[in-house]
Structure 1
Amino acid sequence: MSADMTFPPLRVSDARDFGRVAVLMGGTSSEREVSLDSGRNVLEALQARGVDAHAVDGIPALVDALVHGQFDRVFNILHGNRGGGEDGVLQGLLEALEVPYTGCGVLASALTMDKIRTKQVWLSAGLPTPKFVRLSPGEDVRAAALQLGLPVFVKPSSEGSSVGVARVTDDAGIEEAIRVARAYGGEMLMEQMVVGDELTVGILGDVALPSIRIVPKGEWYDYNAKYIADDTQYLCPGLQGDDEIAIRQLALDAFRAAGCSSWGRVDVMRDRASGALLLLEVNTAPGMTSHSLVPKAAGQRGVSFQELCWRILEQTLPATDEERADA
């Protein structure tokens, strides 16, 4: 598998091949509003290409619709865990009901929602990631920060969209991290801060999209910079020449090592001093908002938002005999 692969031809041209599609959005996770925004965009794009697509808000509503045979497949754009659609629970439900769905399967979804276990898998595969420690509920945050060495990030192991993240550069930051850890109450990841460029690589099927270098106006890429502010810069491709080839290959390797498939996004840091690329995390249901990164990278490759949604949905169709022979 190569990072410079081109897109294959579209698999189908008739929207009727998809049947009736549920665009699953919203839910009850901390990322509900982002999911609703993403879902509305996906729904509009699919309908514009003639797909019989309908909005469904949350898993209980989806279950009710599926029990009554209302949908043939699911475009999952739920974000997060705890009522979201990225932690493997939804995927297991749909597998049991034998309903095709977009995105990664049960194992990859559950694994990558847990940042700590994902890093452990990467390390076992010889893939680079910043130094980190696992913080159990109630563990001494100050002692761990001093042991790892400032500056560090402290974040929930199983949340996304920069929810509940503390940036620790001094004693005041440690106090904020302690507050965040107490408020969250679950397992936390403490990760050594990498000083350098923040990049991300979208994955679509077997193709790594051009990297994007993220340049927030503030000190770091927080929730506001991701979804609200209009002054964040997105440089695509984020790197050039051999460096661009290397980051795309690393992203593909990391995606596959975590058992991922279909589509997603891999976040990477590039150390300013050494130039080393270090893996941060995988997002198996990336945002599809006006600020989102996978659509920006796809557009750089000439893939419109509508085509991107179509290609993602195509991945729910069964493989043809020719595709199985080529696999």
Structure 2
Amino acid sequence: MSLRDKRIGVLFGGHNAEHEVSVRTGAALSRALRARGYNVVDIAVGADLPEVLQREGIEVAVLALHGRAFEDGCLQGLLEIMRIPYTGSNVLASALAMDKVAAKKMFRQAGLPVAEDVVVSPGEIESFDAARIPFGLPVVVKPAREGSSVGVSMVEDPGALAQALRLAARYAGDILIERRIFGREMNIAILDGRALGVLEVVPGDEFYSYQAKYQSQGRTRYLFPAPVEKAVEDELCHQAVAAHRCLGCSGVTRVEILLDRAGKMFLLEVNSLPGMTEASLVPKIAAGAGLSFEDLAERILHGARLWA
């Protein structure tokens, strides 16, 4: 049976810190797939999701969800049990990509370049101080299992560390303290195992925060192709594809790499369910590579499958 004959559920929403981005991603993907003639059903995700999927007769799930419970393998596991093919990466790859601590262990074992870090458990935050950071300040403090820069702080003063740790501790899981790398942020879109290109983000503020990503009103600049030498572009793409494969990812991902002032690369993360809003980076990169948003949405849909 052709995908055009199936009921396609675009799953969006959820209950975590990235709800708003998910709603916008879902709306964009839904419009694009309807424009291509697919039978699309919008599914706002809640506790009754299994019943809704059965009631609506959903045969393929397009995942427009982000963050905990949706990007970390939980939702993927449910869809495997229900035998509904879904877009994106499988359970294990999703879990690894969402957990920054686990992902960095994988990257190190594969010989990929990452920044020095210290992992702090929630129970340690009140007693932890800057003297226990072997590489010193400045640092980036972030929840290990959040995306879209949620809960992230830049810390230059030892007195600000406790507040940054408490902010990160509002979210589940460990806290990652990384040596701050000063340089340029490069984003590489991977589609079906191939790099589409490199985009440089130049935020209006010093840090590409959640607000800069989704509420900057034009202050952030996006440079595509990134203004780097061809050899650097090729190496960025090579490292991004290697990171994507290292975690076992599939479909479309976005890989963040920092290029420091000396030209050294530091892999930040692989986003296994990147945003697809009008402000999102993957659609910008795809467009620069000659792929329309409708083409991109259709390619994502055609990658839907079961893994178990």
| TM score, norm. by length of structure 1 | 0.88
Given that 2:28 and 2:276 are in contact with CA atoms closer than 8 Å, whether structure 1 keeps it comes out as: yes
Q: Shift of residue 282 of structure 1?
A: 1.0
What is residue 92 of structure 1 aligned with on the other side?
77
Given that 1:137 and 1:188 are in contact with CA atoms closer than 8 Å, whether structure 2 keeps it comes out as: yes
What is residue 13 of structure 2 aligned with on the other side?
26
Q: Shift of residue 317 of structure 1?
A: 6.0
Equivalent residue of 2:129, what SS? helix
Quick one: which of 224, 232, 235 aligns to 2:223? 235
Given that 2:87 and 2:305 are in contact with CA atoms closer than 8 Å, whether structure 1 keeps it comes out as: no
Cα deviation digits, residues 205-236 of structure 1 (max 9, x gap): 02111111100011110011100112100111
- Alpha-carbon distance between aligned partners in 1 of 2:172 and 2:58, rounded to the nearest angstrom: 38
Residues 120 and 67 from structure 1, CA distance in 2 versus in 1: closer, same or farther, beyond 3 angstroms?
Answer: same
- Alpha-carbon distance between aligned partners in 2 of 1:284 and 1:178, rounded to the nearest angstrom: 25
- Alpha-carbon distance between aligned partners in 2 of 1:314 and 1:49, rounded to the nearest angstrom: 13
Given that 2:9 and 2:42 are in contact with CA atoms closer than 8 Å, whether structure 1 keeps it comes out as: yes
Segment drifting more, 179-188 vs 133-142: 179-188
Q: Shift of residue 45 of structure 1?
A: 0.7
Given that 1:15 and 1:49 are in contact with CA atoms closer than 8 Å, whether structure 2 keeps it comes out as: no
What is residue 252 of structure 1 aligned with on the other side?
241
Quick one: which of 34, 39, 46 aligns to 1:52? 39
Cα deviation digits, residues 3-31 of structure 1 (max 9, x gap): xxxxxxxxx9x7625x1100000011110
Residues 145 and 240 from structure 1, CA distance in 2 versus in 1: closer, same or farther, beyond 3 angstroms?
Answer: farther
- Alpha-carbon distance between aligned partners in 2 of 1:186 and 1:258, rounded to the nearest angstrom: 20
Q: Shift of residue 240 of structure 1?
A: 3.2
Equivalent residue of 1:99, what SS? coil
| TM score, norm. by length of structure 2 | 0.93
- Alpha-carbon distance between aligned partners in 2 of 1:192 and 1:297, rounded to the nearest angstrom: 28
What is residue 196 of structure 2 aligned with on the other side?
209
- Alpha-carbon distance between aligned partners in 1 of 2:288 and 2:25, rounded to the nearest angstrom: 20
How many residues are matched? 302
Percent identity over paired residues:
43
In structure 2, list runs of 5 or more residues that go unmatched.
none
Q: C-alpha root-mean-square deviation of aligned residues, in Å?
A: 1.8
Equivalent residue of 1:210, what SS? strand
Cα deviation digits, residues 133-162 of structure 1 (max 9, x gap): 111113244236643311110000000111
Residues 92 and 148 from structure 1, CA distance in 2 versus in 1: closer, same or farther, beyond 3 angstroms?
Answer: same
- Alpha-carbon distance between aligned partners in 1 of 2:46 and 2:88, rounded to the nearest angstrom: 16
1:284 equivalent in alignment to 2:284 = no
Given that 2:152 and 2:168 are in contact with CA atoms closer than 8 Å, whether structure 1 keeps it comes out as: no
What is residue 5 of structure 1 aligned with on the other side?
none
